[in-house]
Structure 1
Amino acid sequence: MYSLSNSNSTMTHPNLFLVPHAVHRNDAVPSTLGLDLNIAALNIHRENMFLDDPEDFSITIVGDTLYSWAGTFEDMELSPEVIRALYLNMGYRRPSKIQAITLPMILTPPYKDLVAQAHNGTGKTTCFGLGMLGRIDPNLKAPQALCICPTRELAIQILELLQRMGMYTGIKIECAVPSLTANSTPVRDRAPVTAHIVIGTSGTVHKLMSYKKLGVSRLKVLVFDEADHMLAEDGFRDDSLRIKKEIDKFSPHCQVLLFSATFNEMITKFIPRVMKDHNKLFLKKEELSLEAVKQYKVYCADELTKIDVIMLIKTKIFELGANIGQRIIFVRSRNSAKMLHEELVGDGYSVTTIHGALSVEDRDKIVKEFKGGLTRVLISTDLLARGFDQQQVNCVVNYDLPIKRGTSEPDYELYLHRCGRAGRFWSKGSVFNLLCLDTDKLVMEKIEHYYNIQVPEVKISEQAFEGALKAAGLL
């Protein structure tokens, strides 16, 4: 085991280290699709191959295989077509630190399993996305990579990202999520899946596999995104385990990748059941507080005061438009979402609301409009707390604090995921936590203690909220 930080590395494991590759100087890279990529002509900046991104955190890696730190995308086992898409479609200049470390671990034989924890917004989706694209043989018309995630919205988001990164490769990608319409083709009557990569929710993927429509005999990579939720008892563990068991029958050497921003103790103990010989990459708990995001707490006298606070801060948050970007208000239940929606719309404000009881057509429409910037304020249950990636969101309001189901204990991981919706990719962001009950205050105190942080109070006044936004760098 060793720790790696921005300034130095301290090795305590004799068989594991990272060393920077030399930058490749060849200008032209031949393309299998006739799309010759002239790296020099793209004017990619390479002034710092040691990646001095503003990611000031420590990384702990456990393993017994030597890997190299990939200073550029050309240092990785990626096709010229994928590299072209990263520069031209994605606008990337160089890998983030997490990508520079994890991609060599994914793409280097003997393709060991990997448990990877990374901040929200540091490019972990791109990590496993490139990991899948890098293992595909486009000439083999069969599923070779499978990604399982908790929600339809996240699956579609990952699909869209991979389509952009794989645009020039000829690699086919399919989404396996619940059908939009009641008259869609039943699973038993549909054609077998021939896409190279499948992204889906666990229930739909398991159903496809049960009907033998999704073959796994040629599968090389299995990814669990938001793995702490996918393998949790109150999450999607049963379907996830069934999928893994079926894959083990036909592709016992399939590489397994577990990615999440958080891993609790229960999941850490559960990992040996789904992984063999594997590497681990973790962040220290105190590094998970998302310092790029300013967190605040607002004490409210009662539930009605929470609504009054929302109405008050609208003058500083809702009406600043382009200065603040987009906002998400998280609530604990569908009833709270409906009530708050009606109050805000009744007061003349344009908001949209999403929760699990809506039809998939409505959910897709709401997400599309929000991602397209047509709506600025979104009320959501925890349906969008994990993995939802919208860089324009830089303000989150926790109307209700997240607690574990059936208890009054904080859901620490979910709080972190919610906060992670603001300040994506290290941009500035703010989080306002509304507290009215004694239990709310206790939950907030436990969250502060768990992450070793002190969340300042904001008084209920226009001047105080303006000061908070200025401190967050949003005014």
Structure 2
Amino acid sequence: MAETNAAKSAPSPSEPKLSWGDQVEDAASSSQAELNTPAEPKRSWGDEVEEAASSSEPELNVDALAISEDKKVNKFLDEPEDSNIKAVTTGDTPYSSASTFEDLNLTPELLKGLYVDMKFQKPSKIQAISLPMILTPPYKNLVAQAHNGSGKTTCFVLGMLSRVDPNLKAPQALCICPTRELAIQNLEVLRKMGKHTGITSECAVPMDSTNYMSFGKRPPVTAQIVIGTPGTIKKWMSAKKLGISSVKILVFDEADHMLAEDGFKDDSLRIMKDIQRMSAHCQVLLFSATFNETVKNFVSRVVNDHNQLFVKKEDLSLESVKQYKVNCPDELSKVLLIKDRIFELGEKLGQTIIFVRTRNSAGMLHKSLVELGYEVTTIQGALKQEDRDKIVKEFKDGLTQVLISTDLLARGFDQQQVNLVINYDLPVKHENHSEPDYEVYLHRIGRAGRFGRKGAVFNLLMSERDQMLMEKIERHFNSQIAQVASWNSDEDFKGALKAAGLL
């Protein structure tokens, strides 16, 4: 995988002058300066930057949003293949799992998009279970958890497309995502699936320099479906550029983060409350692969009368993805492992994402691998919007095979050719670096093995702290992760990749 002209043209960050052992957080001001980007108002989850919330807005009264406790376990999930998904419903509406898309009473235009453009054959498990809940009157709210790569995006995209009145030229469906990349990706799926419907859509994300328009000159939004990030959505709503009186369905993708204390909780709740005040019958859908108990309890307070779909945490790890841990004596051995073991087999493995914890680690790893003659690109939140878009497009188009990323792309990023994920650094909680971030770990490994394809994950462990983090991850998911005997053994790595079905 020698360096090509394509690699040379791809933007790469300037690396701070730090040793390999330095663990500097992404928010470090030095990295902002050295990357020649303007200081941002705040850093959000996954290295993403969003507009700061207005300080003049009144505090949200969460306790005013109470829900009924009248719940019961739904009995239609008797089939063995659905036994790992627990459904809890409210009210007396009966639901039946959909074995075909025709069972959902979709329009011919939507069916054409599903079969011809999306090339689907039948609903996946989560689609078969959740879509009847989404599309059956009285349109109950839904909190849904399912495995990475199981088809969650189709659930809420199809829900939005189905609920829109094509004759009403006003926003009727809103989808809020944690990152620009995920919002753009979801919009691409929606436009492909809804190609024959005539339904209009718009992406509400921070503008890059090439598409910049003065906010005062921006016309009111007439698109029927809007997908965007919370800061931009909230900004448009506050400026009366985005009318919400006709919104009938509100979606939160990666909802656990959208409602987490260290995520976009305040903006998300403000958007939800404003829409519910203007449109009393707006259906709220919350989707993610992970919901910890704190977020579950909070959701139960703020989302009225909702159905639930949840997976036990020990069932969340993907069966199609083989996980490994590798002990490395030092930082250099981690780089050589990637160079000599992974890259030498790279042509046979498809695409690879290497996750790091900090921007500084991303920059130093990128520099080391390029100096060794390998083609890699790197994405992190300090890059310009247009550079991030270019890097993602090149990777999705297959022009680059190896992508180094902070957790900016850990959630929701869908590239079906990714067969290999390397955790160069294990994810840790921002407030406590001795505690693994279990949700981020699950999202990272979910970038491989999309839709049941084969995949492998290598966790590179260098210190006693790494060993401790790995042990906690194993205990949390009640899963023993296989050990690669030696970091510098070709045979051990070939054996691991063969066991994962990649060789």
**If the TM-score is normalised by the length of the shorter chain, which range does it land in?**
0.7 to 0.9
Give the Cα–Cα distance (whole angstroms) in 2 for the partners of residues 19 and 445 of structure 1: 34
The one of 245, 248, 266 aligned to 1:220: 248
Distance change (3 Å), C-alpha of 1:380 and 1:214: same
Residues in 1 aligned to 2:416 and 2:220: alpha-carbon distance in whole angstroms:
36
- The residue identity in structure 2 corresponding to 1:18 is F
Residues 82 and 125, structure 2, Cα contact 8 Å, conserved in 1: no
Q: Output the CA distance in 1 between the equivalents of 2:321 and 2:345.
A: 16
| Structure 1 residue 246 corresponds to structure 2 residue 299 | no
Contact 1:331 1:399 in 2 (8 A): yes
Do structure 1's residue 209 and structure 2's residue 232 form an aligned pair?
no
Distance 1:462 1:223 in 2: 46
Kept in 2, the 8 Å contact 1:149–1:200? The answer is yes
Deviation track 1:239-291 (CA, whole Å, cap 9, x = no partner) reads 11111121122012100000000000111111134311110000111111112
**Counterpart for residue 148 of structure 1:** 176
Which one of the candidate residues 464, 477, 480 is aligned to 1:454?
A: 480
CA deviation digits over 1:60-81, x for unaligned, max 9?
0001331111111111132110
CA distance in 1: counterparts of 2:343 and 2:305, whole angstroms: 55
Contact 1:326 1:376 survives alignment (8 Å)? yes
1:431 matched to 2:431? The reply is no
Out of 400, 407, 412, the residue aligned to residue 387 of structure 1 is 412
Report the more deviating stretch, 268-277 or 199-208.
268-277
Given that residues 204 and 229 in structure 2 are in contact (C-alpha distance below 8 angstroms), is that contact kept between their aligned partners in structure 1? Answer: yes
Aligned twin of 2:390: 365
Shift of 1:111: 0.4
Q: Give the partner amino acid of 2:398.
A: G
Alignment match, 2:203: 175
In the alignment, which of 342, 352, 356 is matched to residue 331 of structure 1? 356
Inter-CA distance 392–110: structure 2 relative to 1 (3 Å threshold): same
Q: Which residue of 1 aligns with 2:76?
A: 18
1:18: how far off?
A: 2.9
Q: Distance in 2 between matches of 1:378 and 1:14?
A: 45
- The SS at the match of 1:63 is strand
Query: Aligned residue for 2:376?
Result: 351
Counterpart of 1:285, as a letter, is K
Shift of 1:132: 0.5
Bigger relative contact order (CA 8 A; separation at least 6): 2
Q: Distance in 1 between matches of 2:341 and 2:279?
A: 54
Is it true that 1:74 corresponds to 2:102 in the alignment? yes
Q: 1:90 to 1:241 in 2, by over 3 A?
A: same
CA gap of 1:183–1:423, structure 2 versus 1, over 3 A, is closer
Take 2:72 and 2:262, find their aligned partners in 1: how far apart are those partners? Answer: 39
Q: After the TM superposition, which parts of structure 1 deviate over 6 Å for at least 4 consecutive aligned residues?
A: none
- Using the TM superposition, name which of 120-129 and 59-68 deviates more: 59-68
The letter of the residue matching 1:89 is: D
Q: How many angstroms does 1:56 deviate by?
A: 7.3
| TM-score using structure 1 length | 0.88
CA deviations on 1:315-345 (whole Å, 9 max, x unpaired) are 4433xx1x21100000000100000000000
1:228, CA displacement in angstroms? 0.6
Query: Is the Cα contact below 8 Å between 1:77 and 1:134 reproduced in 2?
Result: no
Question: Equivalent residue of 1:409, what SS?
Answer: strand
Q: How far 1:310 moved relative to its partner?
A: 1.5
Alignment check: 8 A CA contact 1:57 1:283 kept: no
Q: Which amino acid aligns with 1:447?
A: I
Question: Unmatched 5+ residue regions in structure 2?
Answer: 1-70
Partner of 2:422: 397
Q: Matched residues in 1 for 2:83 and 2:367: separation?
A: 42
Aligned partners of 1:385, 1:183: CA distance in 2, in Å?
Answer: 26
Partner of 2:133: 105
**Are the structure 2 counterparts of residues 370 and 312 from structure 1 closer, same or farther at C-alpha, using a change threshold of 3 Å?**
same
SS at match of 2:303: coil
Q: Which runs of 5+ in 1 are unaligned?
A: 1-12, 21-49
Task: Check conservation: 1:69, 1:101, Cα contact below 8 A.
Answer: yes
Question: Match of 1:35?
Answer: none
- Cα gap change, 1:374 to 1:56, in 2 (>3 Å): farther
In the alignment, does 2:471 pair up with 1:413? no
TM-score (norm 2): 0.83
Matching residue of 2:57: none
RMSD (Å) for aligned C-alpha atoms? 1.6
Cα separation, 1, equivalents of 2:82 and 2:374: 39
